[in-house]
A and B are shown apart, each in its own frame.
Chain A
């Protein structure tokens, strides 16, 4: 299978001190597959994803190549890179509440984004957005678009981001812990929508998560990071059943024992 995304020798440093956060990271994501990145807090998962979008803070410096379907994103001028963002690479943020401009209705951001990438008329943009919102089970799409972020729940805003992604039809979707901030019910709904998003767009996905249950459900491959290094990369089944690395094993067993504990508590 062809690779959609090839990361080569990605190095991330803190600009002021020169401290290396990610020493040398290389991995591929196959076209149409979902790669989950797991690892403890501070292992560099978010930094890696933002590096692919070239959206790390100015205090962070990156080097290495990011090949997206035969094009090296790392070498593109900023102006060109900006056109790829949203159109070819979409990001879905952890906190829906904070992802939208708090002083504008949610729809303003949606329409501005679509207007940036397509030559559609206002009514066409609204129409497409409306249908996408309905498809992620937001049943009153116009109300959602006219609402301010604080009037919607985190799970709803997460689904708004998914709906926008559905309309943008990118090649790669990057989701950084999209379910961590949600309650169990919203988590379930959002994961369902992620699975449907993949089915409908066939797009490649990078999915950061702490929740191995969700990872098992959605990912084809798993990449495990520790202290900025990739310690394990394989298919989901392989990583869960016969992890090569001690760290991964401890991660999986910790998760399993937690699961068992939970079952005991619930009296199952």
Chain B
């Protein structure tokens, strides 16, 4: 198991390198000359060719591609993602706090998604085919298929404007979390709810459930076994939910003006602030790789078959 963990972590390193390379390379493909963007962003009135050349040298953009990439990578590893073209401040000074705010929103949302999807998934599986199961499945399907932008606006209109119960935007108190978390949960819980429900259902039909009952074990114990085995599948799925939600907050943050990565990245894209965009993409991609690794390790740790066989 320890060996597997080390192996799995080592495997993620080339993947991270590849991700960073493509992040860097894609930005280079942009038709805009970064030097021009910088000068525009700084409000320089007249952009001459000399000025562009000077800026290029200052930004180190006259060097060969691979040299620039390795310099960039080396500084990224120290959380130095360069300076914003627009504000001139280090990217990390903006990205750090925004990332922290997004993580707060993500953690609360993922916790809510886990609670809702396990609760309803297990409940519906026990009552599969009954009226309540069919209604809940229909409701989840409906909510998942609604565009979050529209649903979010509707929620703001109803809870914040009409009933005046909750703040419309910002991140001031725990009450600010309610609407964004509810929106993310409602949009994503349906997927995980379905996974849990079908996992419980398939475990209910397993022979071990029947044999447990045939041995006279109480229904509670049999069900506990079923739920434990069903959730094993779900652990890795939930692990992958973290980066997915982390990336999906773009929409939600922009609806609720949450001062997080989503808001920052949209502003960066509109302002063509390449270092910020690069850092955002890198952070998200790294989150995907890391959580993918964590989910594999967790899966192996929970599954005795994997735990023993892959040493």
Binding site for B on A (CB under 8 A): 50, 53, 55, 57, 82-87, 89-91, 93-95, 98-104, 109, 112-113, 116-117, 148, 150-151, 161, 164
* A117-B216 in contact given A98-B208, A101-B229, A112-B221 (Cβ < 8 Å): yes
Q: Which of B211, B217, B229, B305 contacts A93 (CB 8 A)?
A: B211
What are 21 residue pairs bridging A and B, where the CB atoms are less than 8 Å apart in the complex?
A55-B210, A55-B213, A86-B215, A86-B216, A87-B216, A89-B214, A91-B210, A93-B211, A94-B207, A98-B207, A101-B212, A101-B229, A102-B229, A103-B228, A103-B232, A103-B303, A104-B225, A109-B215, A116-B215, A116-B217, A151-B308
User: Across the interface, which residues of B come within 8 angstroms of A91, CB to CB?
Assistant: 210-211, 214-215
* A113-B216 in contact given A103-B304, A148-B308 (Cβ < 8 Å): yes
User: Across the interface, which residues of A come within 8 angstroms of B213, CB to CB?
Assistant: 55, 82, 85
* A101-B216 in contact given A93-B211, A148-B305, A150-B305 (Cβ < 8 Å): no
* B304 & A102 in contact (Cβ 8 Å cutoff): yes
Q: Which residues of chain B from 197 to 227 have a CB within 8 Å of any chain A CB? A: 205-208, 210-219, 221, 225
* B211 & A83 in contact (Cβ 8 Å cutoff): no
* A150 & B304 in contact (Cβ 8 Å cutoff): yes
B168 to A: closest C-beta gap in Å: 47
Q: Which of B214, B228, B305 contacts A55 (CB 8 A)?
A: B214
B202 to A: closest C-beta gap in Å: 12
Q: Which residues of chain B from 269 to 311 have a CB within 8 Å of any chain A CB? A: 302-305, 308
A164 to B: closest C-beta gap in Å: 7
* A53 & B228 in contact (Cβ 8 Å cutoff): no
User: Across the interface, which residues of A come within 8 angstroms of B211, CB to CB?
Assistant: 91, 93, 99-100, 109, 161
Q: Which of B214, B228, B302 contacts A85 (CB 8 A)?
A: B214
User: Across the interface, which residues of B come within 8 angstroms of A53, CB to CB?
Assistant: 214
B184 to A: closest C-beta gap in Å: 31
Q: Which of B208, B214, B215, B217 contacts A102 (CB 8 A)?
A: B208
A161 to B: closest C-beta gap in Å: 8
* B212 & A109 in contact (Cβ 8 Å cutoff): yes
B125 to A: closest C-beta gap in Å: 12
Q: Which 7 interchain pairs have the tightest Cβ spacing?
A: A86-B216, A91-B214, A98-B207, A85-B216, A86-B215, A99-B211, A113-B215
Residue of A nearest to B303 (CB): A103
Q: Which of A50, A94, A98, A112 contacts B217 (CB 8 A)?
A: A112
B195 to A: closest C-beta gap in Å: 18
- Docked pose: A100 CA to B208 CA in angstroms: 5
A116 to B: closest C-beta gap in Å: 5
Q: Which residues of chain B from 221 to 266 have a CB within 8 Å of any chain A CB? A: 221, 225, 228-229, 232
* B207 & A113 in contact (Cβ 8 Å cutoff): no
User: Across the interface, which residues of A come within 8 angstroms of B207, CB to CB?
Assistant: 93-95, 98-99
- Docked pose: A82 CA to B220 CA in angstroms: 12
Residue of B nearest to A114 (CB): B215
Residue of B nearest to A104 (CB): B225
User: Across the interface, which residues of A come within 8 angstroms of B219, CB to CB?
Assistant: 82
* B208 & A101 in contact (Cβ 8 Å cutoff): yes
- Docked pose: A122 CA to B286 CA in angstroms: 49
- Docked pose: A100 CA to B211 CA in angstroms: 7
* B216 & A82 in contact (Cβ 8 Å cutoff): yes
- Docked pose: A246 CA to B135 CA in angstroms: 52
Per-position binary interface string of chain B over residues 2-24, scored 1 when its CB falls under 8 Å from any chain A CB and 0 otherwise: 00000000000000000000000
Residue of A nearest to B218 (CB): A82
User: Across the interface, which residues of B come within 8 angstroms of A83, CB to CB?
Assistant: 216
Given A53-B214, A101-B225, list of 19 further CB < 8 A pairs? Answer: A50-B210, A55-B210, A55-B213, A57-B205, A82-B218, A82-B219, A84-B216, A85-B215, A86-B214, A86-B217, A91-B215, A93-B207, A94-B207, A103-B304, A104-B225, A109-B211, A109-B215, A116-B218, A117-B216
